[in-house]
Amino acid sequence: MALLSAFLTTLLLWFVRAFISSTICLTMGIIAIRGLTRLTTKISEFQTIKGDPVGTSLFVSGFLVFAGLVVYGSMINPFFLSQSVLIGSYFNLQRLGVVVLSFLVSFLFGWLFYFIFARLTPFGVNLNDVNKSPIAVGIYLFGYEVFLGLIVFGSLMIPLA
């Protein structure tokens, strides 16, 4: 009976660690998506997809992919309740720092890609044309969410030694 109790305690602790790490990463993702809508002034993301079932479903699908990558990374390598005595007893500050840095990098790259495609038009395509279709905006948001999810997942998986 004691073995089962120890297993359940360990399982519960693992779940709490993954849940808190996921919640922090998902909150940063929401901030990044909101920030992207402020940076891309020529694309009115949420106003365009509002009321369009395909555009909205693409946005929500992208967020689910992002959330899946975050939860998976947090289950494997949560940064809450660290095992390192040197850094702290509750947070692995190095891992949290890498996640926050990856969030900032994804935000910077999101802006940089928008700037390059919307302003410099290296391929002769005007990115602001995306705003003409709710489906196109949904695909644009889907792509950014997958991009953000992969970066956060990578930051959770990178070895810190």
Mean pLDDT, consecutive 10-residue stretches, the chain (161 aa), reads 78 82 91 87 86 95 96 83 50 80 87 83 82 92 94 87 65
Q: What range does the domain containing 76 cover?
A: 24-157
> H or E stretch including 81?
none
Q: Which helix or strand (DSSP H or E) is residue 157 part of?
A: helix 134-157
Residue 9 belongs to a domain: no
Q: Answer yes or no: is 10 within a domain.
A: no
Tokens coding 91: 């947070």
pLDDT score, position 161: 65
Residue 152 lies in a domain: yes
Q: How many domains are there within the chain?
A: 1
Residue 7 belongs to a domain: no
Q: What is the pLDDT of residue 86?
A: 44
Q: Tell me the three state secondary structure of residue 64.
A: helix
